[in-house]
Chain A
Amino acid sequence: MKRKTTLSPPPLTLLDKYHGHGPQTLYSTTVTVIGGKARHGRASGVARSDDGQLSLELRLPKALGGPGGGTNPEQLFAAGYAACFHGALSLLAARAAIPIPGAAVDVTVDFGRDPMDGLFLLTAHTRVRLPGVERVAAEELVRNTERFCPYTKMARQGIENVVALVESGDEARTEPNNMNDSNNISNLGDFRDANESHGKDPT
């Protein structure tokens, strides 16, 4: 197998503590999703990054009633989380001079129903394989990685997240095409109601 020689890990100085007073952006990227045939991002969407390096078709997996054959948000999140965790683990191991050949990170993401608000919830389970590394050292590495990887931090405590509507139709041009009393926008919040009877859980 041919090896490229241009690849190298980032410098260990990434492990230095940052002393600035404000946030400092090191890298920023934008991914755009359109809906495709079914006009639904998960069912038939396309995701494309600004630099063109990521370009993927999205499909509903069979478990959610789709054909499979494409990726989905849970796989993408699991991949991003696992990749960052793997990188952080490698840097910390390099600094500690612990060789970790064959290190692998599995992230399992569940998409499911949230009993607290009746809506949806993600769970992330991360399993780290460090063959040949003594258990005590492996556990300490993983503990430190959890503090260092910003995906773990997000999963623990949330992050700064701004959502904005940047383009919409004008008032005159658009009318919802079939508004009526039983199915209109003011009812979109009906999943917010928490004060309903809880006595009939489905079996």
Chain B
Amino acid sequence: MDDKLHAPPLSLLDRYRGREFQPLYTTTVTVSGGETGHGRASGVARSDDGNLVVDLRLPTEFGGPGNGTNPEQLFAAGFAACFHGALNLLGKRGGMAIGGIVVEVEVSFGRDPMDGGYALVIDVRVKMPDVERRVAEELVRNAERLCPYAKMARQGTVNIVAVVD
């Protein structure tokens, strides 16, 4: 079963020349509120294919019991996984030894002095113990351009919100 696990092809690094957005993969996750009716406090997140099912809880910093995950962890995990994959592909194309790559993403949820509301701050930390510093820095710079999570963090993305019933 593990034999099926392989990185995607390097052709993903080819530049796309179409004129429209071309979706490659689409997924939907549904969150309901659970016992308290509040998604962060007692919600459940479930993906359409059933491969992601997690209980959501407020962390102790927000007065919750902490024994579940939360939006910041989920987002950090997604960002880190995508960035890791981008580094792997770029490193492979460059012929690097890319065995020990580790990506840590720290997401902070806090108050925004600009609008008095809330904001997220993201710190991405990359470890590439087997790659020379100069080369590693160039890989990280290129991964920042390639990874759409980094792009979204930089400039936002397409985002549509609708009430459906």
Contact = CB atoms under 8 A, between A and B. Distances in A.
B82 A4 contact: no
Contact of B164 (A37, A43, A128): A128
Interface in A13-68: 17-45, 47, 49, 51, 53-54, 56, 58-61, 63-68
Given A29-B106, A43-B5, A177-B95, A70 B29 contact: no
Contact of A53 (B39, B49, B66): B66
Given A162-B124, A169-B136, A29 B59 contact: yes
B126 A135 contact: no
Interface residues of B, number: 146
A95 B95 CA distance: 57
A111 B75 contact: no
A201 B9 contact: no
Contact of B151 (A8, A83, A120): A120
A36 B5 contact: yes
Given A79-B31, A83-B39, A188-B139, A43 B77 contact: no
Instruction: Tell me the interface secondary structure of chain A in the complex.
Output: mixed
Contacts of B9: 65
Given A101-B37, A167-B128, A157 B156 contact: yes
Given A34-B102, A78-B29, 20 more contacts: A9-B37, A9-B42, A18-B111, A34-B101, A39-B99, A42-B82, A43-B5, A53-B69, A73-B79, A76-B75, A78-B27, A83-B40, A107-B28, A109-B29, A114-B148, A119-B151, A120-B147, A167-B129, A168-B129, A192-B145
Interface of B: 1-2, 4-9, 13-43, 45, 47, 49, 51-52, 54, 56-59, 61-85, 87-90, 93-99, 101-113, 116-140, 142, 144-165
16 contacts: A18-B113, A33-B83, A35-B84, A41-B81, A82-B30, A83-B70, A108-B26, A112-B24, A114-B16, A131-B165, A165-B133, A165-B137, A169-B133, A171-B133, A175-B132, A200-B17
